[in-house]
Amino acid sequence: MIGAGHNGLVAAAYLARAGLTVEVFERRDVVGGACVTEELWPGVRASPAAYTLSLLRGRIMRELELERHGLRVEVHEPYLFAPQPDGRKVVTWSDRRRTHAQLERDWSRADAAGYADWAERWEEAARRARPLMLEPPDRGRWLEAVGAGILDGSIASELEGIPSPEVRVPFALQGLIGTLAGPEDPGTAFVGFYHELGEATSPPGAWGYARGGMGAVTQALRRAAEAAGARINVSAPVERIAVEDGVARGVVLATGEVRARAVLSNADPLRTSALADGSAPQGWRQAGPVVKVMLLLDELPDFPAWPGPEPWRGAIDIGFTLEDLGSAAHDARAGRLPEPPWIEAACQTAADPTLAPPGRHVLSLFCQSFPADVDADAAADLCVARFSQVCPGLPDRILARLALGPRELEQRFGLTGGHIFHGEMLPGQVLEERPGPRRFGGVEGLYLAGSGAHPGGAVTGAPGYLAARAVVEDLLG
């Protein structure tokens, strides 16, 4: 296994449980890939890449006994808080009825009803689609489960039944994550819907924090894989895949060659192709549109729209209007800084005291819609200014910051192009259009086990599970 990201660890655990001899080689000195907790400042730990958990498959959590191996997931409430510069706010909760009551109070009866219709329709579709996440891609089955609107349509049209555009915005931006698309673009409904397919929390579909940060997920997976007999080597970059007559025979490290009956790669499709000395999947789009900004704060400032600590405990969405979302995508596609950018923020230290000393907080800004060659510091300045429109006290509370643009994400986590999903999840790159897991790049015995493979990115464990299943079928029958 090349790489010990969460998918690599899931696959390693399943392969070892099937009785195979498994050796994992990770280039970094920590496991986890983009699902990791790191000490960013002395005594302050945070999740510099993925920061919230929902999509990890329930079956994987149960079968690998991740709770016994130390994983605790706590649903965050509110589900989201979207402040407006004029002091209004959209607030939702993991419970649909509570959200309905809140929207009726803060907006209108028609908004609450429009939300409830949409949420019920999507919840029903999500219930049908969840089992498909651990199945090989099958467009026909997905179409039957969720319908063409969700599979191929735009997030804007899915949300049309909610009268106030401001209320649509925080739901709409879920459909744009990891893309340079606007809310009217086809395929954005599926990106949003994918984020509803969670099973790691109760109720399903809610989002939560892994206690201790996202590294708690991959530490638990590491323990599960090792308990099953897998060996995990860190600081062990794979230099190339040994391919002989079109068949993967092992991997080459600085210390020599390791022969294997099957080679799995948790690395992204472009990196895996380069390691196999092959050509990248044709037309594969993996340019990252995300800048992650981590801010160390000396206290939590107030939002005029909702003073006090409560709004800091869930996701905080800064988008304001649908037009803003569209124009950000338009700017970034033209190679410009988005005016304005949109942000999903989170502050796990407001809900989990294990990460930082008292009086210190880490605010994570997941900033979207940037051109791939963006200067991360310029983007961070822009996003702090944008956030300050609804939280004017923020700039004075910042003690330190870390800005990771696509280039820095590539360097730190090995994500080629910095793409958070190993390749965007728009039409042309979903379901059967994602490569793997078998015969990656036409090489027999080479399996793609990372987010570049179906069903795609985020902390799901599904590509790792499907790759392991393919290897077990091929080697053990």
Considering the complex, state which of residue 110 and residue 378 has its C-beta at the smaller distance from ligand FAD: 378
Kindly state whether residue 343 participates in binding ligand FAD, applying the rule CB under 6 A: no
Among 58-66, 69-77, 154-162, 409-417, the segment contacting ligand FAD (CB under 6 A): 409-417
Q: Is 141 exposed, middle or buried (0-12, 13-18, 19+ CB in 10 A)?
A: middle
Report 253-282 residues binding ligand FAD (CB under 6 A).
266-267, 271, 275
Strand partners, 317: 344
Stretch that binds ligand FAD, among 69-77, 110-118, 120-128, 451-459 (CB under 6 A): 451-459
Would you say how long the chain is, in residues?
Answer: 477
225: contact with ligand FAD by CB under 6 A: no
- Which residue's CB is nearer to ligand FAD, number 14 or number 421? 421
Q: Which is nearer to ligand FAD, 49 or 133 (CB)?
A: 49
Pick 166 or 196: Cβ nearer ligand FAD: 196
In whole angstroms, how close is the CB of 97 to ligand FAD at the nearest point? Answer: 26
Q: How far is the CB of 23 from ligand FAD (least distance, A)?
A: 12
Q: Does 415 bind ligand FAD (CB under 6 A)?
A: yes
Give the interface size with ligand FAD as a residue count (CB under 6 A).
40
CA distance 405 to 408: 5
Q: Does 342 bind ligand FAD (CB under 6 A)?
A: no
- Minimal distance in Å, beta carbon 9 to ligand FAD? 8
Closest separation between CB of residue 290 and ligand FAD, Å?
5
* 112 close to 103: Cβ distance less than 8 angstroms: yes
End-to-end Cα, the chain, rounded Å: 20
Q: Say whether residue 414 binds ligand FAD (CB under 6 A).
A: yes
Residue 403: C-alpha distances to residues 233, 295, 407 (Å): 29, 9, 11
Judged by CB under 6 A, does residue 447 bind ligand FAD?
Answer: no
Using the rule CB under 6 A, which residue among 7, 99, 179, 348 binds ligand FAD?
A: 7
Residue 451 interacting with ligand FAD (CB under 6 A): yes
Q: Compare residues 2 and 322 and give the one whose CB is closer to ligand FAD.
A: 2
5 binds ligand FAD (CB under 6 A): yes
Contact present, 82 and 317 (Cβ < 8 Å)? yes
In the complex, minimum distance from the CB of residue 216 to ligand FAD, in angstroms, rounded to a whole number: 13
Q: Which of 12, 14, 16, 25 binds ligand FAD (CB under 6 A)?
A: 25
Task: State which residue, 258 or 475, has the beta carbon closest to ligand FAD.
Answer: 258
Q: Which of residues 141-180 bind ligand FAD (CB under 6 A)?
A: none
Smaller CB distance to ligand FAD: residue 113 or 280?
280
- Does 2 engage in binding with ligand FAD (CB under 6 A)? yes
Q: Binding to ligand FAD (CB under 6 A): which residues in 56-115?
A: none
**Residues near 237 by Cβ (< 8 Å), separated by ≥ 6?**
25, 27, 253, 254
Q: Which residues bind ligand FAD (CB under 6 A)?
A: 2-8, 25-28, 33-35, 49-52, 55, 237-238, 266-267, 271, 275, 290, 292, 366, 409, 413-415, 420-422, 450-451, 457-459
